[in-house]
Chain A
Amino acid sequence: MDLLEVFKDSEDLVKYPAGAVILREGDPGNHMYVVMQGELSILIKNKVIATVSTGEIVGEMALINSDIRSATVVADTDCVLADIDQSSFDSLLQYVPDFTIHVMNTLANRLSSAYELID
């Protein structure tokens, strides 16, 4: 699923400069983002556990479990992100089955890297 194509006309684009903290571990969260442009790092306790690039998603976990942010996300370069709030997320899950599969694959890849990290 090409998320860049789906969100190219999004009216909720947000820009962050390199070095900006986008999400903070432990904070409550009800937004996720599609990376329209840029590179980001996912950190736990200041250690990078994954990187996210253009076309990928970040911040989805807090929307799925209605829970706090499990990790911090920092912009490594200047970034443009498409903002997805809880109600848009819920609609996407309901009406775009490919989106659910896409989120699932993202989670599976992150989980796979996380297992490797602690192995």
Chain B
Amino acid sequence: MTYLDLFDGWVNMEEFAAGSLIYSEKEPADVLYVILSGEVELTFHGIALGKEQTGGLIGEMAMINSATRNCSATALSDVSLARLNREQFRELLDRSSEFSFHAMATLAHRLRAVDRFISTKLE
């Protein structure tokens, strides 16, 4: 995944130990994270929505139209995250079509997971 090269020497880094909470539902959200190493689980009302690994994006809704977190993110292993604010995110979308595609695919993937969740609830 070459877009990870965009984060070589990235200054705004955050580290989380296995088991720790990265953010929780309803918290104000103004940053997005790219997972540089490790694995993160996303949960909605305590129900697992999916996992993201190295190269994955989490918190992406904050960048677009949501002021609070829709899910909680927990570190499943020790994780290293690159933190992006809205401006940095937009800049990377402009700079890298690969990153843009990945961000778009992340949204589609998440929507699919939420749709599945809705589908189960309607059964």
Q: Which residues of A contact B (CB under 8 A)?
A: 25, 44-45, 47, 49, 60-61, 64-65, 67, 70-71, 93-94, 97, 100-101, 103-105, 107-112, 114-115, 117-119
Q: At the interface, is chain A mostly helix, strand, loop or mixed? A: helix
Q: Which residues of B contact A (CB under 8 A)?
A: 44-45, 60-61, 64-66, 70, 93-94, 97, 100-101, 103-105, 107-112, 114-119, 121-123
The answer to whether A101 touches B118 (Cβ under 8 A) is: no
A-B contacts, 15 listed (Cβ < 8 Å): A25-B119, A64-B105, A70-B116, A71-B115, A93-B100, A94-B97, A97-B94, A100-B97, A100-B101, A104-B104, A104-B107, A105-B65, A111-B107, A111-B114, A112-B66
The answer to whether A97 touches B93 (Cβ under 8 A) is: yes
Contact of A100 among B45, B64, B100, B119 (CB under 8 A): B100
By beta carbon, the residue of chain B nearest A104 is: B104
The interface residues of chain B lying within 8 Å CB-to-CB of A71 are 115
In the complex, how many angstroms separate the beta carbon of B44 from the nearest chain A beta carbon? 7
Q: At the interface, is chain B mostly helix, strand, loop or mixed? A: helix
In the complex, how many angstroms separate the beta carbon of B118 from the nearest chain A beta carbon? 5
Contact of A104 among B64, B109, B115, B117 (CB under 8 A): B64
The answer to whether B108 touches A64 (Cβ under 8 A) is: yes
The answer to whether A111 touches B111 (Cβ under 8 A) is: yes
Q: A44-B119, A45-B119, A118-B121 are in contact. Are A111 and B105 (CB under 8 A)?
A: no
The answer to whether B116 touches A64 (Cβ under 8 A) is: no
